[in-house]
Structure 1
Amino acid sequence: MKKTVFIALSLFIFSSLFAESLSPTGGVRERFESLDGMNKKAYGDDASLIGRPDDTLLVSRLKLGFIYTQTPDIIYTAIGYFASVYGWSLDHNDFKKVSGNETYWMDPQEDFDFTALNVKVKNLVNVRGLSLQLGRESNRYGDKRVLGPGSWGNSYGWLWDLAKFSYRFDDNFIDTFYGQTKDKDKNHLSLFRKHVYEGAGIYTHFKTDNKGAVEPFVIYKKGLYNGAGNGQNTQENYTYGLRAYDDDFHSFNYDLTYAKANGTIKEKNYDAYGYVAKMGYKFKSIALKPNIVFGRIYASGDDNPHDNTVKTFRTPFGGTDGSLYGRMDIMKWSNLIENVVELHLIPQKNMQLKLSYHDFSLADANDAWSYYKKYNINGNHESKLGDEYDLEYKWHYNKALEYQAIYAYFNAGAFVTKNVADNNAQRLFLQVTYNF
């Protein structure tokens, strides 16, 4: 509470001094969650698992900040957030990571930090469209599959301290960046403290028509903790590819992504790939304007985890939000085959309804269920993870206020029932968001 009061008081003082050039920004998000049969760290109903499988949560996030325009070409942004969760059976130390002699935390809850703290200089050296940005930001692009923090969780996923050059012309852009990603330790403010990964990249966007574009990219990632010992941080690799999409191509819509990764992980070579292929058709003249989408999402697995090459694809700095891989939020873009069917409906202009079916399997049964790091045991060779059914409803009451309700049910497949736990799982979200 003291941290929240401090943010609010600082914002009030600053806005009083620079009222004409300052725009306050912020929001409040309150969410009720009910989990049954799983949690963030473990799948199953067994009482011996980490945490409880049936948490009932109240998840809150307060975001406050300002945008200060010193001149039309010099803009400062500072946005802090305070996150809290009530009813969670997991502890901060459940998210402790060890890499060699380094210890850090990646707590999806966290409580106080900055999601943005940067300065942007536009029209750099008098070149129209060229800008430089320095400081903290989320560094999100496209559908957030290869670069994006994910914002469903309280702690925003990846957050960067970086330098970014951007050149924008017409509706196109070419961005280049270098920076480091912060840890998520609820007991320490991350500014000038511990960073976990180093990264650099080029992300581009070229429009093809009114609602379509192609987005080539190349992304470099390096773990900063290279000491001897256990852990997953020791790596250096590149991921390159492109995304192409169109939201309305003669009533058709498509979203295609291909990503190839090469480099090293620990002492091994890294050679993996992933793709996304989704295509739909929107019936504009029918009531509710149904949009039916079929898709396949793939991320390579490792057929031999004991050889000298890691073939398990890992998104470089992408989100794992349920909007990408099912609202149960127990999958990620790694050793995965997902066949998906979506039905998007518009009951009213300010409402969206989405029903979806997800068929999940391992890309390679010799590799792990990446989210929970579980393998086939006792000579099993199962690959079917399960079937998920999602119902999502969103109501934009007005420009500032939004309501959302989500229900997800996971019918466990043979890999889960024979190797992890013999139960299905479900999840319910009720959320209200107010932004200003």
Structure 2
Amino acid sequence: MKRHTRKVNTTVFFLALAAPFNIALAQDKAPPQREQTNEQAPQAQPIRPGPPRYLEQYPFLADSDKQTDFFDPIRHIKLGQSSWLKLGGGIRYKYDHLDNPNFGLSGESNDNYLQQRLNFHADFHLFDNTIRAFLEMSDTESWDKDLYSPYDQSDAEIHQAFVGVRLPTFGHGNLNARLGRQEMAFGEQVLVTVRDVPNIRQTFDGARLSYRAGNGYKLDAFAVRPVTNVRTGSFNDSSDHGSGEFYGLYGTIPINKMLSVDLYEMSYLRDNRTLNGVSGDEDRHTLGTRLYGENSAGVDYSTDVMYQFGELNDDDIRAWGFWSSVGYTLENTPWKPGAALRFDVASGDDNPNDNESNTFDPLFPANGKLYGNGSLTTMANLVAVGPQFAFSPFQNVTISPTILALWRESSDDAAYTPGMNPIAGTADASGSRLGTSYDLFTRWTPTANLTVDLEYQYYDVSDVIRDVGGKDTQYFSMRTSFLF
């Protein structure tokens, strides 16, 4: 299905591509930063890509002597002695090419398309941050895409719009309430992410309560509905009862540098869910813990252990998942090389007729971060094992290859792609081996505002997918983002 909307602004597109050669918006350059997803202290410099935009704060820019970037004057606009305004936005163009999308099972031999994402936000902070109002507008377009996805295009929309209030507390902690449309992400984004690489980022409508103690303890409580993007036209994205009620708790207990513990419970209630041939209302609850830390020798690790229970129609939900990464980085050597071993397991359904649903559902995961952005697999009925590497040959370049060998956890269940979509015919296929995913990701940050990402993924299919007619798949993407 091709989607043709208004004509692409090629002038803006090529200006964005040519930006590193035509503009110098920052004097200081830094290697790419790992995306931050929880409330953290303000950054020392507005280096891109940083945390999600709603987390950015630059109080140090109130001193004009510290403004070194062309856009610094709009990042902290004083409105009085205790109030300020932050403005910002972004332009991203993404070109994707796929050979045999969906393993060639959709009848398409290739899919080439261009996507646009425009954002602008205004962030008001009043009375020493006692009250906050955040508004972000977005415009997403997709041209010449053959296989439609609900993450492709939503025209002009209100992407985020929330009001935050700081509530009184005892002691030194901060308690904030937030109501409205908002992005959320937790931990390693195994279950909840902002979904950055797909054209439309994930948002939720509802309420969130966040407590931050001075000693590093954190607790978040939320009750929201996911925003859906299935309607054509502008200003009509919404959440509704059928799209699901999503609520839970996420807490962090810091013990020492080598060990921090996250504990969480997330519940997702949906109407008319279909999974493994069973349809009906679903109440899915996820209990989990994340253990993570690092030491002075450069070793770091993160592990999520999850268990799901509840009901799907008349079936009992009994599913589990395990995600882990153990790595080592040589910080004091040229190129700062690092390597990590990934090991992920998510349960599948062993028997579709036993009144139990055993397929693990990763909810709103960062599929691209975990398994590449070709939309070829997700953490459901999956075993994934392999190394991940990273090195920086130059200060503003990071290269990260990943190799993952993939199997089904249960040979009686389908193989799944993002969105819990079963690969056609695999539920009835024999064997467990899915194939091997090779992913090469390169990020270049020529200025503090510009990021260029290149990604190539090759999925070498094996018995399960090949037996249903699936073919090897290649994915190439170039993403150029200019954030201000």
Match of 2:37 in 1: none
- The amino acid across from 1:413 in the alignment is S
Retained in 2: the 8 A contact 1:120–1:133? yes
Structure 1 residues 85, 205: closer, same or farther in 2, change over 3 A?
Answer: same
Shift of 1:234: 1.9
Retained in 1: the 8 A contact 2:327–2:341? yes
- The yes-or-no answer on 1:416 pairing with 2:479 is no
Shift of 1:58: 1.0
- The yes-or-no answer on 1:373 pairing with 2:422 is yes
Task: Provide the rounded CA distance (Å) in 2 between the counterparts of 1:378 and 1:154.
Answer: 30
Retained in 1: the 8 A contact 2:132–2:163? yes
Match of 1:346 in 2: 392
Q: How do residues 217-232 of structure 1 correspond to structure 2 at under 5 angstroms?
A: 217-225=264-272
Match of 1:314 in 2: 361
Task: Provide the rounded CA distance (Å) in 2 between the counterparts of 1:211 and 1:325.
Answer: 26
Show structure 1 runs of 5+ residues with no match: 5-14, 96-105
Match of 2:60 in 1: none
- The amino acid across from 2:403 in the alignment is Y
Structure 1 residues 34, 377: closer, same or farther in 2, change over 3 A?
Answer: closer
For normalisation by structure 1, the TM-score amounts to 0.84
Q: Give the number of equivalent residue pairs.
A: 398
Match of 1:10 in 2: none
Retained in 2: the 8 A contact 1:320–1:331? no
Secondary structure at 1:43's aligned position in 2? helix
The counterpart of 1:160, out of the listed 181, 204, 226, is: 204
Retained in 2: the 8 A contact 1:272–1:312? yes
Task: Provide the rounded CA distance (Å) in 2 between the counterparts of 1:377 and 1:86.
Answer: 31
Task: Provide the rounded CA distance (Å) in 2 between the counterparts of 1:191 and 1:391.
Answer: 34
- The amino acid across from 2:135 in the alignment is A
Output one character per residue of 1:105-161: Cα deviation in whole Å (capped at 9) or x when no partner. Answer: x4443323233110011144677401111011112111211122312111213x211
Shift of 1:211: 7.8
Retained in 2: the 8 A contact 1:320–1:332? no
Match of 1:117 in 2: 161
Structure 1 residues 211, 346: closer, same or farther in 2, change over 3 A?
Answer: farther
Match of 2:223 in 1: 178
Output one character per residue of 1:307-336: Cα deviation in whole Å (capped at 9) or x when no partner. Answer: 2000010013x2243211234321111000
Secondary structure at 2:370's aligned position in 1? helix
The counterpart of 2:260, out of the listed 213, 237, 241, is: 213
Retained in 2: the 8 A contact 1:112–1:186? no
Secondary structure at 1:185's aligned position in 2? coil
Retained in 1: the 8 A contact 2:412–2:427? no
Task: Provide the rounded CA distance (Å) in 2 between the counterparts of 1:134 and 1:379.
Answer: 45
Task: Provide the rounded CA distance (Å) in 1 between the counterparts of 2:219 and 2:245.
Answer: 20
Shift of 1:179: 1.6
Match of 1:8 in 2: none
Shift of 1:248: 4.5
- The yes-or-no answer on 1:61 pairing with 2:117 is yes
Q: How do residues 389-428 of structure 1 correspond to structure 2 at under 5 angstroms?
A: 389-421=438-470, 423-428=471-476
Retained in 2: the 8 A contact 1:357–1:389? yes
Structure 1 residues 292, 71: closer, same or farther in 2, change over 3 A?
Answer: same
Structure 1 residues 407, 187: closer, same or farther in 2, change over 3 A?
Answer: same
Retained in 2: the 8 A contact 1:291–1:343? yes
Task: Provide the rounded CA distance (Å) in 1 between the counterparts of 2:399 and 2:218.
Answer: 32
Secondary structure at 1:347's aligned position in 2? strand
Q: How do residues 136-147 of structure 1 correspond to structure 2 at under 5 angstroms?
A: 136-147=181-192
Superposed CA RMSD in Å reads 2.7
Task: Provide the rounded CA distance (Å) in 2 between the counterparts of 1:66 and 1:162.
Answer: 20
- The amino acid across from 1:35 in the alignment is L
Show structure 2 runs of 5+ residues with no match: 9-73
Match of 1:130 in 2: 175
Shift of 1:172: 2.6
Task: Provide the rounded CA distance (Å) in 1 between the counterparts of 2:144 and 2:229.
Answer: 20
Output one character per residue of 1:155-182: Cα deviation in whole Å (capped at 9) or x when no partner. Answer: 213x211111111012331111112112
Retained in 2: the 8 A contact 1:345–1:352? yes
Structure 1 residues 375, 85: closer, same or farther in 2, change over 3 A?
Answer: closer
Secondary structure at 1:278's aligned position in 2? strand
Output one character per residue of 1:379-409: Cα deviation in whole Å (capped at 9) or x when no partner. Answer: 7412111111111111122221111111111
- The amino acid across from 2:358 in the alignment is K
Q: Which moved more, 1:369-378 or 1:248-257?
A: 369-378
- The amino acid across from 2:174 in the alignment is G
Match of 1:329 in 2: 375
Match of 2:134 in 1: 77
- The amino acid across from 1:215 in the alignment is D
For normalisation by structure 2, the TM-score amounts to 0.76
Percent of pairs with identical residues: 20
The counterpart of 2:99, out of the listed 36, 45, 51, is: 36
Retained in 1: the 8 A contact 2:179–2:206? yes
Shift of 1:19: 7.6
